[in-house]
Structure 1
Amino acid sequence: MLYHPHDLEISAPQEMIDIYRRLANDLEQVGRDGPEAIAPKVSISDWMIAKRAVPILLGTVVGHPRVEDGKPAATTEIVFWDEHWQLARTLTRWYRLGRPLVGGQSQ
């Protein structure tokens, strides 16, 4: 299934900064003080590990450090998207958005 960017719930930049800053702070605290420094308020039982899909970009890239120019690529998870600015940020890098592929055809 293909998604249009407007169908994806991608947070505003400051919201994502806050989320990742809290994550980094939590991991640093556990690394520094050990697991006893964390007192989770939520527990989970009868659990298992599963995978879920995340929004990514599929397209033809130019300037990627590991993919030859003009070749198709799939990105890591999209964490920021602004079509007006023609920018997308994945977990690993920024992308300048060129023309989108709509309905299987370039615009």
Structure 2
Amino acid sequence: MKADHPEVRLENWRLVTLPNDPNAVLVGTVTGHPRIQDGRRTLTTQIVEMAPDKSWARTLNTHYVLGEPMPEEEEFDDRIKAGIERRIWAWPHPSIANDL
């Protein structure tokens, strides 16, 4: 990541494949994002690259440093569930979900 860009972290994150679409996104709690309030739960844009060790991910708009993943037993809140449902149309970019 370039030094002139702030470090954007995503904690308590999970990789999500959109319904009816192979494009993967991340859901997590963000800090350091220039447009999203620290501590807010967010749904990212499509992942275009992810480190094999899952220490970072680059989406269409942002480079994230990934912290601890979300426990498998934890469920999404209603706001995130609604966001996932709204993104069924997704983005017209090649998916890397199968490589993640």
Q: TM-score, normalised by structure 2?
A: 0.49
Higher relative contact order (CA 8 A, sep 6+): 2
Structure number with bigger Rg: 1
Higher helix share: 1
